[in-house]
Amino acid sequence: MVVIMEVGAGKRQIDDVIARIRSLGYDVHVSEGRERVVIGVIGNERPPDPEPLSLMAGVRDVVRVSSPFKIAGRDYHPEDTTVRVGGTEVGGGELSIIAGPCSVESRDQIVETAFAVREAGATALRGGAFKPRSSPYSFQGLGEEGLRYLAEARERTGLPVITEVMDPQAVPLVASYADVLQIGARNMQNYALLTAVGDSQRPVLLKRGMSATIEELLMSAEYILSRGNMRVMLCERGIRTFETYTRNTFDINAIPVLKRITHLPVIADPSHGVGKREFVGAVALAAAAAGADGLILEVHMDPENARSDGRQSLDPRDFAALVRRLSLVAQAVGKRVSTMAEPVRA
């Protein structure tokens, strides 16, 4: 059971609720987010009667939760959560398209790509400045310089930007440039990082670890949510299986499963999910048909010469053609591709 306090509930009200729970013989877990406090009621016995607690001053809701993911589950929040990213809502019944290169490589590259993906219908720009590479000898990203170029691309195109943050100390820096903080697959269980992005109160795109179960993904989301940051989007990006023909195995099952058990928006990443550009379109269309709220796609002006993930990157022409096909699939499942409210003309 969790007790959700009102935004702005006072310390006195919170202490009273905690004292009441303890007096009933339960322990508490208090999550103090910047916006609101959530009190978990812990104990092996049956949970207490919610009624008296729900009548206490400062309490917004008392929710019985049987799943281990308390706040991410639909028990806690039956309606779909939407996350505002720039001028659009992700998860509000439309199909959002996030696109851009794997890595920010130069100012011209990211600005040019931003215009190209916007023209084709993307409503957010992706690009890594801090890259989690399997080899320490591979390109590690431009760091803060890359963040500055992303911010410039946002200024010029109006597209909000999403970029990865890899360690807790870097959260304030990355948050000062980015609209959405990406947690990469390799960091899905970096709990200090999850707590830090939770405290940042920024929208977060949480990618599924390459060997993580759906439940583990949701428990990681719980770390962010339990800090009071409800702006979490989940991302299926392929898991590791015995198959080696493709880079990963995109778990299409995860899309309808997540849509059923959690209220958080679900984004599909077919680029990493399959790893070869000739298959990215088919997997993207399948993910849209399966109910994804959005797609994140790697697009490069010159994929053959990309500094990372060129093999799975689409060029702007193929990307534009894919967006047209995605709009047909979106229509078939009762959605439409999200568009920017007021495109900025530059």
Nearest to 203, CA basis, from 96, 67, 291, 47: 96
Partner from Mn ion, ligand PEP, none binding residue 39, C-beta < 5-8 Å depending on class:
none
Measured from the CB atom, the residue of 94 and 309 that comes closer to Mn ion is: 309
Partner from ligand PEP, Mn ion, none binding residue 247, C-beta < 5-8 Å depending on class:
none
What would the x/- binding string for ligand PEP be over residues 265 to 304, using CB under 6 A? Answer: -------x--------------------------------
Provide, rounded to whole angstroms, the least separation between the CB of residue 132 and ligand PEP. Answer: 6
Q: Which helix (H) or strand (E) holds 327?
A: helix 316-332
CA 37 to chain centre: 22
Compute how many other C-beta atoms are within 10 angstroms of the C-beta atom of residue 250.
Answer: 28
Measured from the CB atom, the residue of 77 and 272 that comes closer to Mn ion is: 272
What would the x/- binding string for ligand PEP be over residues 225 to 254, using CB under 6 A? Answer: ------------x-----------------
Q: Is 283 exposed, middle or buried (0-12, 13-18, 19+ CB in 10 A)?
A: buried
Query: Counting contacts by CB under 6 A, is residue 207 touching ligand PEP?
Result: yes
Query: Counting contacts by CB under 6 A, is residue 129 touching ligand PEP?
Result: no
Taking CB under 6 A as the binding criterion, the range among 69-77, 180-188, 223-231, 315-323 that sits at the site for ligand PEP is 180-188
Q: Which helix (H) or strand (E) holds 143?
A: none
Longest dimension (CA), the chain: 65
Measured from the CB atom, the residue of 95 and 185 that comes closer to ligand PEP is: 185
Q: Which of 102, 122, 197, 258 binds ligand PEP (CB under 6 A)?
A: 102
Q: Which of 146, 184, 228, 275 binds ligand PEP (CB under 6 A)?
A: 184
Beta strands in 169-270 (DSSP E): 180-183, 204-207, 232-236, 266-268
Provide, rounded to whole angstroms, the least separation between the CB of residue 238 and Mn ion. Answer: 11
Provide, rounded to whole angstroms, the least separation between the CB of residue 266 and ligand PEP. Answer: 15
Taking CB under 6 A as the binding criterion, the range among 138-146, 179-187, 219-227, 317-325 that sits at the site for ligand PEP is 179-187
DSSP string, 227-238: TT---EEEEE--
Query: Counting contacts by CB under 5 A, is residue 102 touching Mn ion?
Result: yes
Provide, rounded to whole angstroms, the least separation between the CB of residue 165 and ligand PEP. Answer: 12
Q: Which of 161, 185, 196, 221 binds ligand PEP (CB under 6 A)?
A: 185
Q: Which residue has the tokens 């984004």?
A: 267
Q: Are 188 and 159 in contact (CB under 8 A)?
A: no
Q: Is 91 left (phi over 0), alpha (psi -120 to 50) or beta?
A: left
Query: Counting contacts by CB under 6 A, is residue 128 touching ligand PEP?
Result: yes
Measured from the CB atom, the residue of 67 and 189 that comes closer to ligand PEP is: 189
102: CB partners within 8 A, 6+ apart:
127, 128, 131, 271, 298, 300, 306, 307, 308, 309, 310, 313
Beta strands in the chain (DSSP E): 2-5, 27-32, 37-42, 59-63, 83-85, 88-90, 96-100, 124-126, 161-164, 180-183, 204-207, 232-236, 266-268, 294-298
SS3 314: strand
Q: Which of 10, 68, 93, 132 binds ligand PEP (CB under 6 A)?
A: 132
Amino acid at 125: L
Residue of this chain nearest to ligand PEP (CB atom): 184
Binding site for Mn ion (CB under 5 A): 102, 309
Binding site for ligand PEP (CB under 6 A): 102, 128, 132, 184-186, 207, 237, 272
